[in-house]
Structure 1
């Protein structure tokens, strides 16, 4: 099929790897499985991981365009919530998006944006494009976003925030205050972001990075006009996941691979807090001692400590005499040289999780990392830091039963070394951990079935492709 005859979709990603990775994977899947021509727009960044991801992605009929970065310093305060900043960045990027689409020889028939990009629907309407939302997280998070938008802020503040009572979500799992979204926890702040519910309900559909069997009751509630559907109207819901990063161009460092190859099957715990998450200095010390006390094999992607869970990017310091950075216990490298490996700053996560020696994942519970863990059949220690990660942790431990979680709030208290040791041994050694491994492998099989030809996610994305193809016809 000639390029001009293919359905052409434009995808717009908000800044951050949590949005860019699933947008990229959606684009690749639309090209390879649905015969699309896809153009991905993202906001230019000096973030090394984003740059590496874009440069490593080469596929015929997939174009990637970097929109220029925007200065929002005069539009939001320095302490504004992250999601509030994302909305402003996306809004200020619209002129660049409009001019880029206008310059295209073959203009897209559809625009797909993530939750922060619905302002771009004005551009889609200008060019006569179909409009879709891609929720890069799970269905439960989407249900909470939509339902909370229908509730009076004063009720949420008094009942949920001050009263710390659970928020009932019709047809779905209720949301405890312990696990609530940051935007709800800070609902009394002036800069509290408001998701564009009214614009999303005027879209042609909402795609979700989940699958029918994983969240069947929540997806049913999203489709039910008598429950959450009052806001959603009759917008189609398309579970199309799990879409996880699959990049054959990335390879494990030779030293890391050799070390993993020497370990027993499912004997290694992988420890990572995402592309930017960090811990406080005191918490890093406790984590180091907990790993050491467990005497279980581990690979730990280490970043210098920060009081901000979102993290900052530094270079690991020289440290003390055995090379241990000065923010880890003195002599940690020497004492753990036979059981552990520390990797500074970043590692190819998907390649590590897919290695047969890895049998557990201590994670910040970002949805991308959660799906990668499930797709590799690896149970988790849930250690959420920000955004919707506490909700993800609740699902993993309470609903799917494929993870353990500290008894204290990781963002408010220090998790002690003894509890860390206990969680590691639960996942890696105890019968409870073995049962979790069996359950997560069942979820892996369910996910693969959904993605395969004829599966629920395959069929959902195929329907979107048919709609776009129909829209092309005169």
Structure 2
């Protein structure tokens, strides 16, 4: 039997590998502690000590802890060519024994387990230990709806893939084949079966938290709650709790930063920030076209550049790599000859990494060319920055369709059957976002500011916003379960 619980509800949160998963889990944990008086322990799979240490700087000091789980070797269980989703899911399954042991050994055992969607295979641990179990979808409600519906409608998914017709998800915007999830496009491969399992496991949760908010995805959230649409498939209550993003540190700090100092010298909203995230890479030919497109646009830019992948099609090649480049091995090796010198007066090329949260919060930044990962997307929206969305893998094409077509706060490349996006199209997209005096650019800026403000209202404790209230409901469920556990322990 589990030990008696402590004085306050205690939740265990589990983050799968990758900053895109860890950051929203951390932000969720911080809000549970600071706004809802829930003690939190965050278990992290496959992160490095330096990353953990840096992230702890912004975390509460009381009732909050981060526990790295031992690294797992899955080299005998996956092939190097396996999809990144397969690798992540296998890693999470092989972390189950260490998670079970860590929770069982705690003096103040948690009474709830909250996992990101790659961790749903750990739900049996929650069942064994008498814990509530929640899933945390760190991306959109549309992704959640598609994933859970697809796991119950395999024939529909097969028709969608084989005939390249839209997947009609009840109550939601249909998913074009061109925007489909990687796992569906790979139907017949191992990743498809792995992903379908996630959809089945999600439906067994006691609740599903989503990093979105009512005002942004109201139609899809309603479909997830409506028995005539998806409620009988999803079953668990859905709680929009976003936008959860890492806070932007003060721009003026005692720690000098070359990028921020360069931005300080630029006019307001004059710079487009270009980054494909911590895991995204572009082939050499595409890097060259992007460089030419930025140069031709005539706009100021900050570009975070990663080396091209060894295999041209492997756009997620950098996902598990945190390696830095040395100065002698920098971007001049794979950018067009003379590009750095020709653009030195209006552009800044940064190898590997830059402080994205600070950059997007800077008044000089007026646009973001992004791979459309949901963390990056929310950081852009919550700073009122319109986007050029360039999806690479996972659910990013869904995100791009939502932003460009439904919300109209972004532009995206045309469908090109996997080919290279040409410099002329890149030039046009950058100018459409950055030239605010043109009607389209002005309208995008107005819409993104409306979204920014609605996100702030949703999270507001003072206003009891929709996302604050949804997380408060989860906290009440944790409190009730905590009381049951305490009463049971006393009766024993």
- On whether the aligned pair clears a TM of 0.5, the verdict is yes
The structure 2 residue matched to 1:287, chosen from 275, 285, 290, is 290
The structure 1 residue matched to 2:452, chosen from 444, 453, 463, is 444
SS at match of 2:332: coil
Q: Find the aligned partners of 1:420 and 1:253 in 2 and give their Cα distance.
A: 32
Please tell me whether residue 240 in structure 1 is matched to residue 241 in structure 2.
yes
Q: Find the aligned partners of 2:422 and 2:191 in 1 and give their Cα distance.
A: 35
Equivalent residue pairs, number: 466
TM-score under structure 1 length normalisation: 0.94
Closer, same or farther: CA 230–443 of 1 in aligned 2, 3 Å: same
What's the CA shift for 1:156?
A: 2.6
The structure 1 residue matched to 2:392, chosen from 385, 400, 403, is 385
Please tell me whether residue 361 in structure 1 is matched to residue 371 in structure 2.
no
Q: Find the aligned partners of 2:202 and 2:387 in 1 and give their Cα distance.
A: 33
| Residues 29-68 of structure 1 aligned to structure 2 (within 5 Å) | 29-46=31-48, 52-54=54-56, 57=59, 59-68=61-70
| Residues 64-463 of structure 1 aligned to structure 2 (within 5 Å) | 64-153=66-155, 155-157=156-158, 159-192=159-192, 193=194, 194-233=196-235, 235-246=236-247, 248=249, 253-306=256-309, 307=312, 308-312=314-318, 313=321, 315-316=324-325, 325-409=332-416, 412-429=418-435, 430-453=438-461, 454-463=464-473
CA contact (8 A) 1:316 1:325 kept: no
Q: Find the aligned partners of 1:45 and 1:324 in 2 and give their Cα distance.
A: 26
SS at match of 1:73: coil
What's the CA shift for 1:406?
A: 0.9
Partner of 1:8: 10
Most deviating of 255-264 and 130-139: 255-264
Q: Find the aligned partners of 2:301 and 2:23 in 1 and give their Cα distance.
A: 26
CA contact (8 A) 1:17 1:50 kept: no
5+ long unaligned stretches in structure 1:
none
Closer, same or farther: CA 425–49 of 1 in aligned 2, 3 Å: farther
CA contact (8 A) 1:284 1:328 kept: yes
CA contact (8 A) 2:249 2:357 kept: no
Most deviating of 331-340 and 42-51: 42-51
CA contact (8 A) 2:151 2:200 kept: no
The structure 2 residue matched to 1:464, chosen from 471, 474, 490, is 474
What's the CA shift for 1:130?
A: 1.0
Q: Deviations over 1:198-226 (max 9, x none)?
A: 43333221100000111111001001122
Q: Find the aligned partners of 1:63 and 1:249 in 2 and give their Cα distance.
A: 24
Closer, same or farther: CA 424–49 of 1 in aligned 2, 3 Å: farther
Closer, same or farther: CA 205–227 of 1 in aligned 2, 3 Å: same
SS at match of 2:215: coil
SS at match of 2:367: strand
Most deviating of 113-122 and 448-457: 113-122
Q: Find the aligned partners of 2:51 and 2:296 in 1 and give their Cα distance.
A: 32
Q: Find the aligned partners of 1:98 and 1:301 in 2 and give their Cα distance.
A: 39
Q: Deviations over 1:214-250 (max 9, x none)?
A: 11110010011221122223x2111000100126399
Q: Find the aligned partners of 2:378 and 2:331 in 1 and give their Cα distance.
A: 32
SS at match of 2:214: coil
SS at match of 2:216: coil
Most deviating of 308-317 and 169-178: 308-317
Q: Deviations over 1:316-352 (max 9, x none)?
A: 46569xx861201111111111110111101111110
CA contact (8 A) 1:197 1:231 kept: no
CA contact (8 A) 2:409 2:444 kept: yes
Closer, same or farther: CA 265–138 of 1 in aligned 2, 3 Å: same
SS at match of 1:215: helix
**Cα RMSD, aligned residues only:** 2.0
What's the CA shift for 1:447?
A: 0.4
TM-score under structure 2 length normalisation: 0.90
What's the CA shift for 1:44?
A: 2.7
